[in-house]
Amino acid sequence: MQEKYYSKIKEKVYYETLDNGLKVVIMPMRTRKKFIIWGACVGSIDNKFKVEGEEETILPDGIAHYLEHKLFEQENGRNSLDVLTSIGVEANAFTSNNHTAYLFEATENFDEALDEFMDYVQNPYFTDENVEKERGIISQEIMMYDDYPEWAVYINLMKALYFNNEINIDEAGTVETIKEIDKDKLYKLYNAFYTPSNMILVLTGDFVPSEVIEKIKARIVKKGPEKRVDRIYNEEPTGIVQEYVEKQMDISMPVEIIGFKDNNYKENMMEKDVAIDIIGSAILGKSSKMYEKLYEEGKLKVVPGITYESAKTFGHTLIQFQADDYKYVTEEILKAFEEAKEKGISEEDFERCKRKIYGEYIRAFDDPDSVASAIVSDYAKGTDTFEYFDIFDKISLDDINKILKEIFRKDLMAISVVKTKEEG
């Protein structure tokens, strides 16, 4: 087992790649909690692929999420989520655009929970009956999400930014697309992507690495060799679909996201991630002139959120806020970014915001759930969570101002708004 010491957080992290290709990461932490997450690098964007020696496969939108739901059901008639809950373990699962994860946390009964956990992830049981039973449940979930303004404003923005990129697919699919899912399609997806070399197992918390790695190895049933799988993605033009999209919903205050498409998402992904956080803090943060002005005017009560979302197939920056006078707030935000692009972020603001963002990043390593989830998410993107320390050390004011100009381009900008019904 390889051991690395990270001086910034004063913690050791242990790495081992098992004989079957599964990557295991263990980070002991001073807490009573034990947290484990098993991630497979397959999400809503991965429904078109070619397995070595087979013809191209195209599966319905939402199938990765459907599979996540069904994996808990076992041949013995038990639902593993219920089993884990019954022994006092908090278990869950989720599907994103580029990975699916299964997790639980425990302070007691870890070994018993691990048995169940390792069993259901490695042993799918899909039948015509249990697949059909889930269809109504997932349909209700889809319709429920359709009523969330935060989801509507986001997915509408993706469809405004991207012509063909799979990021504009709803992660759960639609009520219509999930009608096409059956047990054979679920097995097809599982056998292609739930392979050891396409997965990562992360454990954080109260662990002795040498002991827990043996427990993991004893419960591994998946072996190699694996067939090569080539993912097939749509070609994406460089421009955007439309500059503005809106929807009316029964909400008390409008929600808006301003999005900027990044055509160079494959370059400097981690540097952009850090830079956008620093830029956002400098221009939109609580101490920024723009926010102070809008707060005093009563236009904003909460600092706008900003994030750089990226994966192996896309990249974009999102600025999200809620405001009654959202048109005015939009104008002020865009004006602040144009002024910053012209004058540049100041040295003082850069140093202040860099310290703030770095402090937040370091504090995230105190939480077993957060750090483990970040490791899985970054692995799916092809990056390493712990390399962010080097990014913070190296990033300069020149880097920040260069990224500011590259990312916040009006020709690659779209705006999505969910308005109140009263606005008309």
| Tens of pLDDT, residue by residue, the chain (424 residues) | 999 999 999 999 999 999 999 999 999 999 999 999 999 999 999 999 999 999 999 999 999 999 999 999 999 889 999 999 999 999 999 999 999 999 999 999 999 999 999 999 999 999 999 999 999 999 999 998 888 999 999 999 999 999 999 999 999 999 999 999 999 999 999 999 999 999 999 999 999 999 999 999 999 987 777 899 999 999 999 999 999 999 999 999 999 999 999 999 999 999 999 999 999 999 999 999 999 999 999 999 999 999 999 999 999 999 999 999 999 999 999 999 999 999 999 999 999 999 999 999 999 999 999 999 999 999 999 999 999 999 999 999 999 999 999 999 999 999 999 999 877 6
Residue 54: its pLDDT value, please?
94
- For 2-231, CATH gives 3.30.830.10
Do 2-231 and 244-420 come out as alike in CATH topology?
A: yes
Angle at 368 between CA 307 and CA 3, to 5 degrees: 105
335 neighbors 293 (Cβ within 8 angstroms): no
List, edge to edge, every strand of the sheet that includes 56-58.
Answer: 56-58, 48-51, 229-231
DSSP class of 73: B
Residue 32: its pLDDT value, please?
94
Domain 244-420 fold is Cytochrome Bc1 Complex; Chain A, domain 1 (3.30.830)
Residue 147: its pLDDT value, please?
87
Token pair 């381009």 is found at 409
DSSP assignment string, 316-340: EEEEEEE-TTHHHHHHHHHHHHHHH
How far, in Å, CA of 366 to CA of 269, rounded?
A: 25
Residue 108's CB: how many other CB atoms inside 10 A?
A: 12
Residue 424: its pLDDT value, please?
60
Please state the pTM of the whole predicted model. Answer: 0.94
Residue 221: its pLDDT value, please?
84
Domain ranges of the chain: 2-231, 244-420
Residue 224's CB: how many other CB atoms inside 10 A?
A: 11
